[in-house]
Amino acid sequence: MAAVFKDLPIPKFGFRRMLEGDVPAVAEAERAGYAYPWSEKIFRDCVLAGYICRVAEVDGILVGYGILSIGAGEAHILNLCIRPEYRYRGMGGKMLSHVIDLARTGSAADIFLEVRPSNVGAVRLYQSAGFLQVGIRRGYYQADNGREDAVVMRLAVNP
């Protein structure tokens, strides 16, 4: 009988600051995870602009990342991804918790994000962390058949 991803043990992993040298591996993980990936230039610009950029590693292998901006008492999760072969083992939840903690220590009162409604796993992950839908951005994402809306979600972290 073949093992199911969710039945596999969660390996030990840790977080660290994303460096400019990580950008090619981050962009490769993005391409593996999304049909319409960000470019290396976008990731490099995030690092150089001083956004809070973190990577998750397992035994020195980059398996995911999170990018957060904080300003005016709000945080915005710009991107969060776990490589497809490492999903369904709790790492997405740990990455999300780490990013939420960074927003909380950065004095953000609220965290916002956009997510594709078709990305059911991500929507469920955010809901499980307490995020609530607060709006819709019409035609926000590129999609195979034109555009896809974005669900806007919010989490109060320092009310």
Query: Alpha-carbon distance 48 to 39, whole Å?
Result: 14
Predicted pLDDT at 5: 56
- 11 pLDDT band, cuts 50/70/90, is low
Predicted pLDDT at 15: 95
CATH for the stretch 12-156? 3.40.630.30
Domain map (residue ranges) of the chain: 12-156
Place of tokens 């994303």: 18
The catalytically annotated residue of 114, 140, 141, 148 is 114
Average model confidence (pLDDT) across the chain: 92
Is residue 3 over pLDDT 80?
no
What are the DSSP calls for 61-122, one per residue?
EEEEEEEEEEETTEEEEEEEEE-GGG-SSSHHHHHHHHHHHHHHHTT-SEEEEEE-TT-HHH
| Amino acid sitting at position 53 | C
Predicted pLDDT at 111: 98
| Amino acid sitting at position 68 | L
56-86 per-position pLDDT tens digit = 998 889 999 999 999 999 999 999 999 999 9
| Amino acid sitting at position 29 | A
Instruction: Reduce the DSSP state of residue 29 to 3 states and report it.
Output: helix
The catalytically annotated residue of 126, 140, 141, 148 is 126
- Range with top average pLDDT, 28-32, 57-61, 142-146, 155-159: 28-32
Is residue 1 over pLDDT 60?
no
Residue 40 is among the residues annotated as catalytic for this protein: no
pTM: 0.89
Residue 114 is among the residues annotated as catalytic for this protein: yes
Percent of the chain with pLDDT over 70: 92
